[in-house]
């Protein structure tokens, strides 16, 4: 990531647009998780569910990559564990 202008190796933003890396801090009801990004910003995220190969087991303390909602940056979807 260091070859992209404005990004360093410890920057939580990913090369893909709209995705960030954060740490799961709390498990909420209904399959929601509280994720901290940028060491200060909190986002409510859900893990992908349904049928298929999208099941991700998420525990508190896991580092995850999530996509932020374009309309509400306080919500997101967990894409994968990092």
d(CA 67, CA 76): 5
Report if residue 30 sits inside a domain.
yes
SS (H, E, C) the chain: CCCCCCCCCCCCECCCCCEEEEEEEEEEHHHEEEEEECCCEEEEEECCCCCCCCCCCCCCCCEEEEEECCCCCCEEEEEEEC
Quote the pTM value: 0.73
Report if residue 9 sits inside a domain.
no
pLDDT on residue 13: 53
Report if residue 56 sits inside a domain.
yes
Report if residue 67 sits inside a domain.
yes
pLDDT on residue 4: 47
pLDDT on residue 6: 46
CB neighbour list of residue 38: distance below 8 Å, 6 or more residues apart: 12, 20
Report if residue 47 sits inside a domain.
yes
Report if residue 3 sits inside a domain.
no
Task: Print pLDDT tens along the chain (82 aa).
Answer: 445 444 455 555 544 568 899 999 999 998 899 999 988 899 999 988 766 667 788 999 999 999 999 899 899 999 999 8
pLDDT on residue 14: 47
What is the number of domains present in the chain? 1
d(CA 67, CA 18): 6
CATH of the domain at 77: 2.40.50.140
Tracing tokens 């298929």 back to the chain, one arrives at 52
Give the residue numbers spanning the domain of 73: 19-81
Report if residue 54 sits inside a domain.
yes
Report if residue 13 sits inside a domain.
no
């Amino acid at each position: 990531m260091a070859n992209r202008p404005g990004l360093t190796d410890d920057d939580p933003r990913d090369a893909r647009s709209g995705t960030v890396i954060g740490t799961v801090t709390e498990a909420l009801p209904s399959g929601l998780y509280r994720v901290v990004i940028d060491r200060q910003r909190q986002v409510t995220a859900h893990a992908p569910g349904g049928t298929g190969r999208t099941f991700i087991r998420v525990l508190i303390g896991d580092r995850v990559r999530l996509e932020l909602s374009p309309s509400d940056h306080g919500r997101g979807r967990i894409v994968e564990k990092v």
